[in-house]
Amino acid sequence: MGSTQTLRRLALESVAIVGSILLAFAIDAWWAKSEEAVKRDALMRNLKAEITANILALERITQAQTLHAQKVLRYVRILNGAEPSPPVDELDTLKYAIIIHPTYHPSFGVLDVLIQSGSLILLQNPELQAELADLKSFVSYYTDNQEALVTLTASDAARYNTGSYIYPFRLPEREDGSTSRGRDELETAMKVAQTVYGFYVQTLEVQGQEVLAKFREVYDFIP
């Protein structure tokens, strides 16, 4: 009789010990999941705020680039005689549209942390993970082309001199009195201005809208 009670007591104690261990594991697992959920929610909020900031900044820049392209087009029209030359101060505004450009600089602080720390897996959304992993390279096509335009016009400015193609109407004659230098520089100005305008219309405006669409697509994936 005593042996039976002892065995029962030991069995109950064993069950209690195992149960307490299992309960401890369950509490730890719940706590870990709870902490993970809190971290994931914080990441989502920060990521959403970063994407929103990028969308707003890019909207401003694409609008500025459209207006900039219109200034360059007007400068082209002035150069080819389709439009009379404006007053000097207005011409100054147009001339700088050739060599000074509004550019977009993305903010990827949160995304960089996610990628570098391996925390993308915390998002538990394979589609969102794929979109985020591809986002920076997608945006880089646009920003690289911005830099290409800046480099192009900077090299042209250095090569031809600001005064050479910005003010083609006031160039001095050659020492022999000929005016061919003015015509040469006018052609140079036309070439540069047309290249810049084409770059804006055919490349930056198109890619800017594509990047905006990409950001909005990523934003919609974030719960």
Total domains in the fold of the chain: 1
Classify residue 5: in a domain, yes or no: no
pTM for the model: 0.73
- pLDDT (0 to 100) of residue 120: 72
Hey, what amino acid is at 190?
A: M
User: 130: domain range?
Assistant: 47-221
Please state, rounded to an integer, the average pLDDT across all residues of the chain. Answer: 75
CB 91 within 8 A of CB 71: no
Classify residue 35: in a domain, yes or no: no
pLDDT in tens, 2-52: 566 665 655 555 544 554 455 444 444 444 455 666 777 888 888 889 999
pLDDT in tens, 192-205: 888 889 989 999 99
Q: Which of 202, 184, 222, 188 lies closest to 65, judged by CA?
A: 202
pLDDT in tens, 10-22: 555 554 455 445 5
Q: Which helix or strand (DSSP H or E) is residue 178 part of? A: none
CA distance 85 to 75: 9
Residue where the block lists tokens 């096509």: 141
Classify residue 63: in a domain, yes or no: yes
Classify residue 76: in a domain, yes or no: yes
Q: Range with the lowest mean pLDDT among 98-107, 128-137, 150-159?
A: 150-159
Hey, what amino acid is at 58?
A: L
**Burial tier of 127 (Cβ tally within 10 Å: 0-12, 13-18, 19+):** exposed
Mean of pLDDT values over 114-123: 74
Classify residue 21: in a domain, yes or no: no
Classify residue 37: in a domain, yes or no: no
Residue where the block lists tokens 């230098």: 181
Mean of pLDDT values over 141-170: 66
Classify residue 24: in a domain, yes or no: no
Classify residue 26: in a domain, yes or no: no
Q: What is the DSSP string of 201-212?
A: IIIIHHHHHHHH
Helix axes 88-99, 126-160, angle to 10 degrees: 120
**Burial tier of 172 (Cβ tally within 10 Å: 0-12, 13-18, 19+):** exposed
167: pLDDT strictly greater than 50? no
pLDDT in tens, 68-77: 999 989 888 8
Q: Range with the lowest mean pLDDT among 17-26, 97-106, 168-177, 205-214?
A: 168-177
